[in-house]
Structure formats: structure tokens, C-alpha cells
Structure 1
């Protein structure tokens, strides 16, 4: 797990082999801490104590230890109260809990994290409450319990404070846990991006090679900290490389080293990690290849790398990484292989590919943009995009987050963090490996079976801006980092080319925007005409954004004059600076210098130099001038944008603008996300009892089992979902008897798996108004498709006419429960017209779910038809969402078809599958992925 200070530690059960570790740990604890633990002087553990604290049944008695470097630094233990000789009347679901943390490691958040883990263990074993006795002077431990967020009671007994904690998670305890997670993971990233000292391990004596390239980039970027070159093969007489101290191992450095960049062959990395760990290095950037991307042996080498680094409390970027960059003036770090250091900007950039990282950095630099931080994580065996989302959420130097991802290791956590970060600043994602169905070879992540369209829908629900290409990633980033968010979709278009204006108008319609009629300034327009027109457009209350189109104009000498691009840029910037804050984008055709001039800062000042005695080598180039005032966050009202993005094509500018409009709308709605409604008629305990009974009676099968029709109807009924009754029709007489019981008119349909929900195959006969027509339909059906035993025909009462829809919920091991909605029929299936949301769904999200499919107009009175009862449909979606969220044993629910009439709806078919409850890592105690 990640601790409060950004370091890592391991939590594991205490076993019978840990006697020596336990004794050694206890000897290092202060007398005061021992007194707080045992309420009396207790200098050493007796043999009886050691036996008791290392022997557990892992049900009534459980002990956990926190280890760093393989040694204990903290322990926690619970004992079920009735298992320790207490009276029979004592509650069996209560346990006594006690902690002990080594003094040198107090204040790192260890006890708080241990409480999460031991509480989860206890809940799994039927314990519902913890009791703890704490001395009144032990303020630290009292604070741990008080701040946990669990419901608690306290009283003073026999000179001690007795605390009782209910272990059922609450909204407050979950918020506390995630807040601690965010601070810890952000701190772990900050230690990697803001080091005071860096050692490049593998820097060669001669120019060339990966290590020397990183060292050169560190020096060229003006890194403000101390730099060291480390190479075991250096001769004793060589004490400097490129002007920085050169040593053979970190042990020769007489001061701390925060970050090590590892550029040695994979087989030498373990000894380097050990050297770094012994020297107290906080983090590693491993550039070395030859890990999981190279096959099974490399995958095991990668696992061992992470295990070894974590044993020392270090975090790892990589292996097979490209490096990290932090352009902030206090750091100026370029510990990467990037061919050029980007300028300072407001974009945080994460990529899993070095090649894509080079392309993204080059694209930003070419268009006059910079970054706040850049990370190319390679195989991202440890530190991932989730960690950087935690960091960027509170980073004042980052206004927009761009991510190129080829795999998502924990989709539930990613969407949660993206939603949280997206509420404050835009998150833009380009996803590679969308259709392969597997992660790249180097990425050790679970393979998810979720289709890419579903992934896209879930990202959209979290407010993520999904783009298709790296080019679009840069296009969106430039607009979002430098322009305010649009208040709506109305776009003004102005320029000196009628054709380019019409192309922009068409592009706006394609992106779902509402363009105003283009304003043609004619080819005679000069920069001052652009200034006047832009100022007027921005002042128009009916305009939310402006796209300026420009082509070269003819100067006095018969051609566009040199420097006219800068003149036009100045005019546009002046207009934007004096008008209401609205986004502006420029589409230009071959106007030299315009894009660069639009991206330039209005005022500049020299970047402050490094502290005395801590600077780079003497041959470091002078710092690049930077803005005296940092660009403001996007969307901040009342302040003018500083840079205007330029695009070579109308479609690209408008697509970026459309993405900004969609994000701005999501962000406004995120302030009021809706609620998960309560329904008085839901019988959660009755449904749980039914599920337990069915799973208990069935043979164990990890793949699950399908509920029978009767159990399916009963389970759904306990959540207020009525399924239209069906009766079996094994022959014509049985069909007639069933119809008489249900009442005419009826439907006759097959339920064979290969014919289920396939009306196109002729397995359904509707509106049978009497017995004669029923028997005729039965003869026709069996004559066409086969014998009754094969077809499994049933009779069902006709439902009111309406729109046929499908409601499904499927649990993916990685993403969790996903609720889906679409219209029934081959056309919707063929076009993939299905909408998705993560469970639990709020009332607002249920309404959006209905409206997000392309065929939604059929629900709202298309071409004069009567609108259907969408309120009833939204309620059905919310009830299904509650069902699967309340009961993790439910792995799928399918309601098909659901006929929605003008009043009410009818569920005509339903199926439910159960399986042993899956683990939901994102809802458990904080922990890093296991290796």
C-alpha cells in the first residue's frame, strides 16, 4: 500500500515463522508506545506472548503486520470477544482490536490504513463491531479511530477510553478512505516529479547511449537539484561526467538521492535496485527493456522488480519507460529521452508509449504549446495513469490532462478518479489497442471483455473526453488548456473566405453544434477588420464561441507580406483580451507565423535561476523566457484567454470545440449528479435469502448458474419488477388450457435457446384472439420449426402495444456492474445502438441513458406517434441498477423485450444468472496491485 508520505509498505498476515521478526520489532518500540499498548510497563515479550501473537486461526483471531524491507514496522490484531472465554451472552460479532506502530514510522498513516485492512478481514468473518480500549493520553490512536468515518460510540471506563466502532462502511468512511488514498498517491507521484537530487545509473564514460542522453537532458533542462552519474565500470580516476560528480555506486554519495534513473541492462537492474534501496532512494525511473514485453521470463523479471522496489518503499515508473519531465521553475526536470525539452505549459501528459510520447511532445512544441509535466510509463508495472490522475487533481500548474492509454488496469478506479478530476479540469483520453481484445505484451493487467463502445460510454459517463487519434488529443488539449469553456453550443463563424466559412458551418452541424450564419469579411479584409468582427461576435449574447477562418490576403506588392501573420495574431489577441471570455479558435490556410504568434505569451520574464551551489554544469544553456503570469484555468469567468489555438483544417478546430462544449455541459451537470432513489417496496433481505438458497442448493460453479423461471420472477418481484406470466404449452390442448387461464388475446412463442428473442425466425405468433386461431398457430409453428419438445413453446397474455426495448446488466470483473439499454430488434443490434452506464445509476443518469441512443426519438413521439411512458422506463432502469448493486452474486440480468406503452410497461421475458460474489477491489481497503 502507499503511505501518507508517498512511500510504500506491505501488509500481510502474521505467521508462525515471524517470531524473530516480532521480537526484533518490539525491541525497537519505545517504552511509551509499549505502555500505551499494554497499559503497564512491558519491556519485553514473553515466550507465551510471542506464541500467542504469532499463532492465529484467521477467523476468531487474526494478526496483520506492516513490513518495510522485510522487517515489521507495525502490527494489528483482533480477538473475537466470545472466543476468549467471555460469557455466552456476549455478542459473537464483536472483536477487540489493538495496534502497535514503531515510533520511527508513526505519522506515516500506517495505523489508519491498517484499520481499513483489519476491518475488511473482520467483516468477511462476520464481525460487525470493533471494541478498543485506549489510554486517554494516547491521542494519536484516539484520533485514528475518530477520523476513520465509521459510526462509533465512546465512554470512559476504569481509567481508559472504550471505543466501539461499527464496521459497516458508511459514506463518510468511504470518503475518508478515498481522500487518504488520493493524498498518498499524489504524494508518491510528487516525490518522483519533484526530486531534489537525481542519480543516472548507467551513464557511460563516452558520449552516446541511453544513460548519457538522459544525463545530457537533465543538464540542458536546467535541473535545479543535484545530479550524479553512476556507473559501476567507471575507473577510480574518473570523478566527473559532463561536469557532474561520477561514482561507481550510490554508497559513495554522502547525501540523500531522491530519484534514480536506471539505464542498465535488465540483468543488472536487481543489484541497482538493491543499491538504491539501501541508500534510501524514494523512486525509480527504469528505462531498461527486456521485461514483460519480451515474454514469460521477462514478465517474471518485471514482477520481481516491483516486489524488490516495494520492499524498500520505492515506487517504479516503467520498466521500458521513456522518462519524466517537470517544467515547473522550482524543478526544471527532464529525466527522459525526449530529443528536446518542451516549454512550460498547463498540460499534464501521460503516455504508455515512448513513440507516441515523442509524437505528442513534438506536436505540442510545433504549435507553440508546452507541458507542466510529462510521463511515459512504458510497461507501467507500478505507477500508472491512475496515480497521475490523483496528482494532477490538485496540481495548480496543470489545467488539462491528456492521456494516451493502451490498457486500463483498474477500470472501476480509473473512471472514479477521472470523474473526480474531470469535475475540476478536463481529462482527454486517446485509447490504443481498442479492438485487439488484449493488452500490449508488456502490460500485466486483467483482460476485460467489455467492448470498446461500452468503454467509450463509461468514459463519457465519467466526463472523460474520448478522442480517436493522437492528433485529436493535441487539438483538444490546445483548446482546453488556453481557452475558457463555452457556455453553450452556439458558434459564430467569421473570416475572409466564404468557402472556408461554409466548410466550418458544415463541420459545426456534424459535431452537433449550432452555428450562426458565417460572416464573410471578403478577401479585402485587413487585420483591423478581423479585430472589429471578433470583438463584436464575442460581445453578442447569442454567441458562445467563435471560429475565425483566414486565408492569405494580397498585400500592396501583390503578395502577402512577411510578418502579416503576426499582425493578424496581434489583432485577434487584442479583440479577445477586451471582450467577454469565450473560446476562440482560428482556422488558417498557409499563413506563415500565425500559429506561433497566436500561441506566444503577451509578456515574458526570465526564468529564475537555480539556488546557489545547486545548479547544473557550466555549459547548460540559458533558461527559456517564460510568461510573467501563468495562463489562467480554462473556463474562469471574467479573464481573457492568453493564447489562441490555430488549426490547419476546419474539421479539427470544430471537433475540438465540440468536445469542449460536451465537456462543459457534463461539468455543469456534475454539480448536481442526481440521486439513487429509495423504493419502499424493495425487499432486499428477501432477495438475499432467495439468492443464498439457490446458490446453496446448486453445485459450486465459478462460471455461475441461470435461475429458473419461477425463481427469476420471484427475485425480480422483490425489487418491484413484474414479469408478464407465461405458461408452458407442451401441446395444443395445454396451449388452449393456458390461454383460458390467462385470458385472450394471447401470444404463442418458442423459448428454445436458439430461437429465444428471434421474432425474425418466425418463433412468435401474436394477437391470437380465440382457441381456434391459437391451435392453428400451434400447428403452423411446430410444422415450420420442429417438435414441441425442441421448441419449448409457451403462452403469454398480450401486453399493450408500445415500443420494444431491452434492459440488461452485466458484471465485468474489471469494470464492475454495467447497465445497458437499447431498443429491441435486429436493426439496433446490427448498428450497436446501445447505451451504457456504470452501476449504481442515479435518476439523472437513468434519464440520460434513455436519451443517449440514436433511436431515442421513437420513445418521444417520432413522426406523430404517441410518446411512451419514459418515467416508468427510467424507474425500471433504477430498480435493475439497485438489484445488481445490492447483490454482487448477480452477474447478469436481461429483460427482453420490455414493451413500453403510453402508460406503463410490460416485461415479457427475463433471465438472471448468479455466481459466487466477485471481488470488487475498488471498494475494499487501499492497496496496490499485487505481484
Structure 2
């Protein structure tokens, strides 16, 4: 790694003025000398980044001795055998104004190990320029440690008014050039023999912010992948007293012991090399302030040791990938494999969600019950699902937001690729109180949640029933390209109900083309209504359904098709289901086909036998209209486009916002505008 020109021999061997006993304390110092943050490496494991302290001398010396020959040469521009006491004082007793230093650490057996060191020193007489230096243990190079240190240093420096970083880098130090380039800044350089002088502005440009977000999302995705794709899991018929007694490396550990024993188990997980922990146990932040403190210690412990943790107070995780087939939950139901990624902040509700998914035949790719979200959050899972090829639709049950600003940047990126459907509970004061005692959820203004979801392109539903209705459509059918709906029914009343529900939600029932009407007239009875909705009357049989669905679906004025069936005495629902499935096979593939079976028996299995596979089915016309309107709004708002963020659209909600009683419309608009959503949720 490079040596900063501010770290030349004179400064390396002489204590800077004012650092005789304690560093000078300035306003910046009081903040930065306690600087600490957790970060994710490229493989998804975590490290702890903190300010260098005066008591780090032994750790820094051990770090130096762990550097290889080339790493020492790159860092100091020459060979070096040891750090002198004077150098150690200079490197650890900092003023955190003109000289700022950070270390990346991992904890082993209760002791910190320094794996990376980064610092910058302001140029003499020019506080707008600073020279930087990095050194990372050889075994940790290439994993993102240096990039993270540089990212934290550059943000600290920019906040303190520094405009530019620079350093002398050996021309052969390609890794350092890769670190600087990865930051997303524009780098200039000037060659001087075998040394290159490089400099770059550290202002956080959109390109740099984008690069930082992409690194964070990829790292979060890898961390979740390690939890959902373990190579080995500590479960089975044979029992072991400890993890160490297993005698093999365990990737994922499911913890279901009393809360008082969880910390000891996590410590053993770190010692034995586990990569992930799922804590089923309850009794943490959701029950008391003392439990909240224990949960914080648990979070800090796993992050210092490089683990990722789901929970506590959760139901577990599921991965239906046949190559993994992981069921680490206490749910009695294993869902069918499919393309829906599900998150539930409630464990008990997660059990019901899985049961409902199986009953509706909604295939699940992965399911995660996050519980109190001490470490792995909904944002981490969104980052994972964003690039997961098995997940095409994301369903969320949320009680709180941990980092709404990160959600506001990440969710639009995900929504442009695949739809996100969410239920957010805790709207009312009573609901908020219940959420805080249930999963340690923090309250947030519901108007802000609405604004955040609309800004991000998330489909918000009021109920779990609506969520499953929308997911059932999006998981099996294409997103509609427009609001025009063609309706085929064997009864006038349900068709009218559907027409009313569609129009109330911004959908349209256009007139069919003359060609379509002529084709329908050729086989339907004279009593049938050939307008849209097409009412074939109760005598319609299976072949009528198949032909009518294909004709209406092929009409150029129709973007989607809804087929309604009310079972008369003489007609078999199974035969009609098979005919609808056959007719749907003739509808252009970019148009969704929905069905409504007005029967207590529900839709027949034959509905899934056609070329398009399973067709979504609803018990009532209004359910189909709500789901279709939500999908159409998503398509209009978030269809792949070049813009950086989706256009807000009220149709992404399955309800309409109205000013509460006593509010005038102007103050309502001011409070509900999307620009203020993350500020309103900053305490969440």
C-alpha cells in the first residue's frame, strides 16, 4: 500500500508537537476519536472499523509483523523490519484534526486483531489537501478491507472541509490503484520514475455514491447468501454437547436456547468458524430495556467476529432450491418451490403466511423471518433478492424500518427489476404499541411510509389477503402494459361488479373491435351481450369459454383479461377450468389472464393445466380488480426505463389516501410529500 508523503522520515521518527502526553482535543477530535462503524466485506462477512487509539501500539506492531515483504515495501516505499517506539506513538496518538487514522478489526477469543490500517494527514499550510496511506494484512487483501477504510476516511475528510486526497504509489502496486478506482472518484496521476503521484477529489459525486451503494448491496447479498446456502448445518438426529464436539466446520447454526445462554453459543460459533447464526430464542429487545442491551451486545459480538445473524425472536429461514432444500424453521408447512421471496417480521404470522402460500399454490424461493432484525435486515434481503435468479417477486410483512434512507436508495433499484409487494402494520397508535412489544419495532409516521413506498415503487397493500392476491398475479402472469381490461363472464352481475371495481381504481373496460364482436357473435347465443364485459349467459359451456377467452385476449384494445365463472347446476367447474386454461394459451404472452370462481369450493386444479401454467384465481371480482390495478400501476411506474428513480404513482397502493378529519388539504399535502419521507422516519 502507498506511503503518504506526509509520513516521511522526519515525521515518522519525531513526535509531532502537542502530542507529548495526550492528543490535542478539538471539536472534531471529540467526535472522531470515538468513531466506530460496522461494515461488510465482499464475501458478506462483517468487520469493525474504529478510530485508532493510544492503546493500539501492540496491535499495530503485530499488524506490521503480519505484512508480507511486498506489502511493507508498498506501504513505506522501501524495506522495513520494525516500527520504533517513536513511530508507534506517532501512529497511535493522533489529534484527529490534521492526522486521522482508522483500523479495521476482527475479534478472536475476546481479543481484537487489526487487519487493516488507514490514515490521512493534511498538507502543511493547506487543510484542503491530505495525503493518505493504507496497509492491509496479506491474508485479507482482495476482500474489500482497503476500499472500506478509504471510503470511511474520504467521508470523514470531506465533512471536515478536505477536498482532495493524494499519495505516492509504487507503479507496481496495482492493488492500490484498484482500491482507488473502486471508490468511483476521478483519479489523476503523474509518473515519477517507479513512483506514481496520484490525486483525486473526494467530494461524494453521484458516481461515487452509486459505486458505494453497489458495493454495499453486493456485500449484503453475499452475507444473506451464506445464511440461505449453507454447505453444512448443525442439525440432525444425533446430538452433540457443543459445536466443537461435532468435529466439522458448521456454516449455519440454529440457536434455540434460553435467552441467557445465547451469547455463549454465539461466542462458540465464532470460535468454531461458523459463518451464520439464526437465533430463534426470544426475550431480547421486545421485552425490556435490559433485553435491548443484551441484543445490542449480541449484535456487536457477531459483527466484530465476522458473523451474520438473523433474529433474535424469529421463526427461521427456508430455501426451496432443490440444491439446498433448507428448512430451518419450526413451521409445520414447507412451501412449494417457486419464484417469490418472502420476509416476515413476525414469526407466528410467518407460519400462517407459509400455510396460506401452500394453500394458494404460491411457489416460494426463499422465506426469512427476521424477528428483531438485530443484524440482517429487510434491506439486506432486498439486496440479495435483487440479483437472485430464482426470485421474481418479493413479498414483505414489515412492522418497522431500521434504515429508511438506505431503503429509499435500494428499493427503486430492485423495483425496476422485480416487483415488491408490502404490508406495513403499526399504522395506528394501538398498532404501534403492539408492534413495539412484539418484535422491538420502532414507530414511524404512516404518512411517511406511504410516501417512501410510492417514491421507491413498492406496492403497498392494506391486508395480507390483498398481498397474496397481488403476489399471486405477479408470480404467474406478466405485468400488464396498460389499463384496458377485457372481461368474459357467464353472469351479468359479477361482470358489473368487476367493471365498477376496475373503474374505481383507474382501469378501463374498452369496447372490443368489430372483428372481435363478429367472431364472438358467430358462436354465442343471441341473448349474449357482446359488449365489454362479454356476458355469455349461464348456458355457456366449456368450448364457449375457451373460444371467448382467446378472442377477447387477442383484441388489440385489451391489455389484460379477467374471466369470471359462476357455477350453474349443469356445468362442471373442472371442465370450465380446463377450457379457460386452454383458451388462455391463445392469449398473447405479454397479456395477463386472471380468473374469478364465485364458489365456496374455489378454483379447480384443472385451471393450471394449460400452456400458461397456473392462472391466478380470486373468490370475488373486487379482489381481482384490486390486484390487477396494483400490477398495472407498478407497470406504469416501474417498468424498466433509463431514469434513476420511478415516478410516484398513487395506483401502487391498493387504497387511496384521504386527509384525516380536521386536516386541511394543504397541510396534508405538505406532510405527505415524498421528499420528506426519510426525514419523518429518521427515528425509525
Range into which the TM-score falls when normalised by the shorter chain:
0.7 to 0.9
Gaps of 5+ in 1: 83-87, 200-227, 230-240, 603-639, 677-820, 842-884, 886-890, 893-917, 922-928
User: 1:292: Cα distance to partner?
Assistant: 0.7
CA distance in 1, matches of 2:439, 2:183: 35
With 150-159 and 92-101 compared, the bigger mean Cα shift is at: 150-159
Q: In the alignment, is residue 491 of structure 1 matched against residue 481 of structure 2?
A: no
Structure 2 residue aligned with 1:155: 190
Q: In the alignment, is residue 456 of structure 1 matched against residue 456 of structure 2?
A: no
Distance verdict in 2 for CA 1:321–1:45, change over 3 Å? same
User: 1:158: Cα distance to partner?
Assistant: 4.5
Distance verdict in 2 for CA 1:435–1:250, change over 3 Å? same
3-state SS of the aligned residue for 1:311? Answer: helix
Structure 2 residue aligned with 1:342: 335
Structure 2 residue aligned with 1:56: 94
CA distance in 2, matches of 1:398, 1:160: 48
User: 1:42: Cα distance to partner?
Assistant: 1.1
Structure 2 residue aligned with 1:653: 624
3-state SS of the aligned residue for 2:632? Answer: helix
Q: In the alignment, is residue 585 of structure 1 matched against residue 594 of structure 2?
A: yes
Please, which of 564, 573, 578 is the counterpart of residue 565 of structure 1?
A: 573
Structure 1 residue aligned with 2:584: 576
With 30-39 and 584-593 compared, the bigger mean Cα shift is at: 584-593
Distance verdict in 2 for CA 1:589–1:831, change over 3 Å? farther
Structure 1 residue aligned with 2:507: 513
CA distance in 2, matches of 1:443, 1:73: 35
| Cα shift readout 1:168-204 (whole Å, capped 9, x = no counterpart) | 11121111111111110111011111111111xxxxx
3-state SS of the aligned residue for 2:127? Answer: coil
User: 1:37: Cα distance to partner?
Assistant: 0.7
| Cα shift readout 1:56-98 (whole Å, capped 9, x = no counterpart) | 000001110000112111000111121xxxxx5xx33111100
Distance verdict in 2 for CA 1:839–1:118, change over 3 Å? same
User: 1:443: Cα distance to partner?
Assistant: 5.2
Computed over aligned residues only, the root mean square deviation of the Cα atoms, in angstroms, reads 2.7
User: 1:287: Cα distance to partner?
Assistant: 0.1
| Cα shift readout 1:396-416 (whole Å, capped 9, x = no counterpart) | 111110000000111121122
Structure 1 residue aligned with 2:548: 533
User: 1:840: Cα distance to partner?
Assistant: 9.7
3-state SS of the aligned residue for 2:423? Answer: strand
CA distance in 1, matches of 2:501, 2:87: 76
Distance verdict in 2 for CA 1:547–1:147, change over 3 Å? same
CA contact (8 A) 2:456 2:645 kept: no
User: 1:441: Cα distance to partner?
Assistant: 3.3
Structure 2 residue aligned with 1:35: 73
CA distance in 1, matches of 2:278, 2:210: 32
CA contact (8 A) 1:2 1:185 kept: yes
Distance verdict in 2 for CA 1:379–1:332, change over 3 Å? same
Distance verdict in 2 for CA 1:826–1:6, change over 3 Å? closer
User: 1:528: Cα distance to partner?
Assistant: 1.3
Q: In the alignment, is residue 422 of structure 1 matched against residue 415 of structure 2?
A: yes
CA distance in 1, matches of 2:232, 2:465: 35
Q: Tell me the TM-score normalised to structure 2 length.
A: 0.84
Structure 1 residue aligned with 2:115: 73
| Cα shift readout 1:713-752 (whole Å, capped 9, x = no counterpart) | xxxxxxxxxxxxxxxxxxxxxxxxxxxxxxxxxxxxxxxx
User: 1:370: Cα distance to partner?
Assistant: 1.7
CA distance in 2, matches of 1:95, 1:31: 27
Structure 2 residue aligned with 1:478: 472
CA distance in 1, matches of 2:436, 2:604: 36
CA distance in 2, matches of 1:504, 1:395: 36
Structure 1 residue aligned with 2:43: 5
* 1:691-770 map, 5 Å: none
| Cα shift readout 1:396-448 (whole Å, capped 9, x = no counterpart) | 11111000000011112112211111101100110101122565236566654
Please, which of 460, 469, 474 is the counterpart of residue 466 of structure 1?
A: 460
CA distance in 1, matches of 2:450, 2:246: 49
Q: In the alignment, is residue 662 of structure 1 matched against residue 662 of structure 2?
A: no
CA contact (8 A) 1:822 1:835 kept: no
CA distance in 1, matches of 2:297, 2:645: 45
User: 1:318: Cα distance to partner?
Assistant: 0.3
CA distance in 2, matches of 1:446, 1:376: 17
- Tell which has more relative contact order, 1 or 2 (C-alpha 8 A, sep 6+): 2
Question: After the TM superposition, which segments of 4 or more aligned residues of structure 1 sit over 3 Å from their partners?
Answer: 441-448, 668-676, 825-841
Q: Tell me the TM-score normalised to structure 1 length.
A: 0.62
| Cα shift readout 1:184-232 (whole Å, capped 9, x = no counterpart) | 0111011111111111xxxxxxxxxxxxxxxxxxxxxxxxxxxx45xxx
* 1:307-706 map, 5 Å: 307-436=300-429, 440-441=436-437, 447-448=443-444, 450=445, 452-516=446-510, 517-555=532-570, 564-581=572-589, 582-590=591-599, 592=601, 594-598=603-607, 600=608, 641-668=612-639, 671-672=642-643
* 1:863-882 map, 5 Å: none
* 1:118-157 map, 5 Å: 118-157=153-192
CA distance in 2, matches of 1:114, 1:333: 36
Distance verdict in 2 for CA 1:44–1:113, change over 3 Å? same
CA distance in 1, matches of 2:441, 2:140: 32
CA distance in 1, matches of 2:350, 2:244: 34
Structure 1 residue aligned with 2:529: none
How many pairs does the alignment contain? 607
Structure 1 residue aligned with 2:144: 109
User: 1:592: Cα distance to partner?
Assistant: 4.0
CA distance in 2, matches of 1:97, 1:36: 13
Q: In the alignment, is residue 181 of structure 1 matched against residue 181 of structure 2?
A: no
User: 1:455: Cα distance to partner?
Assistant: 2.1
Distance verdict in 2 for CA 1:78–1:831, change over 3 Å? closer
CA contact (8 A) 1:528 1:571 kept: yes
User: 1:524: Cα distance to partner?
Assistant: 1.1
CA distance in 2, matches of 1:3, 1:344: 30
- Between structure 1 and structure 2, the one with the greater Rg is 1
Gaps of 5+ in 2: 1-38, 511-531, 648-656
